[in-house]
Chain A
Amino acid sequence: MKGEAFQHALKIEHDVCIGCSRCIRVCPTEALRVRQGKAQLYPDWCIDCGECYRACPTRAIVVESDDFNKIFSYKHRVLLIPCLFTGQFPQTISEDDIYHALYQIGFTQIVEVETSVDFLAESIDQYIENNPKPTISSFCPAIVRLIQVNYPSLIDNLMHLKAPVDITAEYCKKQLLQKGVDENDIGIFYITPCAAKIAAVRAPVGEYGTVITSVLNMDDLYNKTYHQIKQNKASDIQCKHTSELSDKSIRWTLTNGEAGNIKGRCLAIDGMDNVIEFLDKLEDEDTCNFDFLEIRACDESCPGGILALGNRFLAVEHMKHMAEKAPAVSQLPSEFSFTYDMIKAGNIEERSMVKYDKDIGKAIEKMERAKKLRRQLPNIDCGACGAPSCEALSDDVVRGESKISYCIFIQKQQEQSGDLSNEQSFEIMEEIWGKHKFRRK
């Protein structure tokens, strides 16, 4: 456990963190602890799902975003806009208003992320015929990372096809290059509803380099855009945006967006708890007859993303409403053409968390010691030791990263038996929760 920065997009602001321990309890990979009264992270275990961000009452966990003004370093400033962005706005604001404002704040070209969805959907149909069943969608980067860390046996089931945003980005770049634009003049920007997508751009999994220049947080850009819209008069709007996306493209980021549009037996699961319950089951039973599984970390999928600010149910309804008016097939300009090599991703490596030891002999020994320790612990998962559960504390102890006396029950026993003085016990609590928590106010 080191440093205060998450490996990827999430960062703990230690000045703001009050060490309340809410985040350590919600982390699906138990990657957080409290030390010196501040949340600390095991970066190797973090999957960028953002559950900690949701739980934090003081906004001490932040999503680091790239500087907006960076866009002006490029002559061609392409914005990849997900339908979800439009879905965030009240339905009284038209797409024309939004696009007009986005051009005003500095973009030179706006392309819908889901432009590549029709082609991707067809490719998935072909993909699942030739690959191990069930194919697990690689759409949600938090799920890809969860499988890498916690479900290595399911890695071969992960689909080796890129997400729509990567395909569309590559397409836009190719098109500009073909028009003779200098590569250094091209900036491609994506509006993200979550931290996992940022991690996916900064450190893509699946052996491909992304062409996205940087990622803009949806909440920041929403504010910027809305502010601009409010300043505009209706008569100012010259932008005529006509979305030609298909019904399925608009629905793609919603729950059942993929599963509802892929051939064969498909299933959609959303929400981290549901996902974990399902993956545990999937790993146990070899006899799963599904062709395709859409698995998303957030409840209601992307509209439930941590940077999506509108109410998720209203955003879903708004997008479904948009989809109802859309054609069955995207009416894209004829120059829009995709090829299979643009969407293919490579192998995904496991990133299995070493819970005890890399050496199996040592791991067995440590696990047995941890089990013995656990029998001494109260098993109430109170979190007073700074770890999310008694099991996590016992594992930390055998890895040499915590002490059994961090448990307040053990402290009481040791105080009674005389093994621990009152002062020592007090110091331990300060080590975990920080001196400030014990100051009389």
Chain B
Amino acid sequence: MVLNYHIEGGDFANAGTASSQIKKTLKQLSVPPVIIKRVVVALYEAEVNIVAHAYKGEIVVSIDPERIQMILDDEGPGIADISLAMQKGYSTASEEVRQMGFGAGMGLPNISENADSLNIQSKVGKGTKLEIIVKLS
């Protein structure tokens, strides 16, 4: 099953819509709550990253009996140093974004902690593509 979502940069009011929808779907599929929680946390963080940093992005979630694959492809500034971005507490978020309670530098580390695999590709000035996988079995 494949589900698609479009995310607008800067739309904090609706940040979390995709992860909320995915949560609903996984609940209806009777996926164990522990796994749902990991998917929702990882996807929410990634979704907020697009809202906070990029201009826009697409999310494609595919669910099969073995795993949940989430691909988040954005048009944005990209990440200059991925290993630095993976460090807890590192953030390039603006003061404005931080005041909204985001940008604590926990996004990517949090995704990584909840995912079975995380693959990041980024081009500075172009955008970032994340592939997050959470295994179901």
Chain A, residue nearest B64 (CB) = A364
B19, B33, B136 pick with most chain A CB within 10 angstroms: B33
- The answer to whether A364 and B40 touch (CB under 8 A), given A355-B28, A358-B30, is no
A335 on the B face (CB < 8 A): no
CB distance from B91 to the nearest CB of A (A): 16
Contact of A360 among B27, B29, B36, B37 (CB under 8 A): B29
Which residues of A lie under 8 Å from residue B27 when comparing CB positions? 150, 152, 352
Which residues of B lie under 8 Å from residue A280 when comparing CB positions? 20
| A255-285 to B contact mask, C-beta < 8 Å, 1/0 | 0000000000000000000000000100111
Q: Interface of chain A, helix or strand or loop or mixed?
A: helix
B44 on the A face (CB < 8 A): yes
- The answer to whether A155 and B1 touch (CB under 8 A), given A284-B23, A284-B40, is no
Which residues of A lie under 8 Å from residue B63 when comparing CB positions? 364
CB distance from A436 to the nearest CB of B (A): 35
Check B65–A361 contact: CB distance below 8 A.
yes
**What size tier do the contact residues of chain A reach?**
20 to 34
CB distance from B51 to the nearest CB of A (A): 15
- The answer to whether A356 and B37 touch (CB under 8 A), given A285-B16, A364-B63, is no
Which residues of B lie under 8 Å from residue A283 when comparing CB positions? 23, 40
A110 on the B face (CB < 8 A): no
Which residues of A lie under 8 Å from residue B40 when comparing CB positions? 283-284
Contact of B19 among A150, A284, A357, A360 (CB under 8 A): A284
Q: How far is the CA of A428 from the CA of B70 in the complex (A)?
A: 43
Which residues of B lie under 8 Å from residue A367 when comparing CB positions? 1, 25, 28-29
Q: How far is the CA of A355 from the CA of B30 in the complex (A)?
A: 8
Interface residues of A (CB under 8 A from B): 150, 152-153, 155, 280, 283-286, 350, 352, 354-358, 360-361, 363-364, 367-368
Interface residues of B (CB under 8 A from A): 1, 16, 19-20, 23, 25, 27-31, 33-34, 36-37, 40-41, 44, 63-65, 136
> Can you give 19 A-B contacts (C-beta < 8 A)?
A153-B36, A284-B19, A284-B20, A285-B44, A286-B41, A355-B28, A355-B29, A355-B30, A358-B30, A360-B30, A360-B31, A360-B65, A360-B136, A361-B65, A363-B28, A364-B64, A367-B1, A367-B25, A367-B28
5 closest Cβ pairs, A-B complex: A153-B33, A361-B65, A152-B33, A363-B29, A355-B28
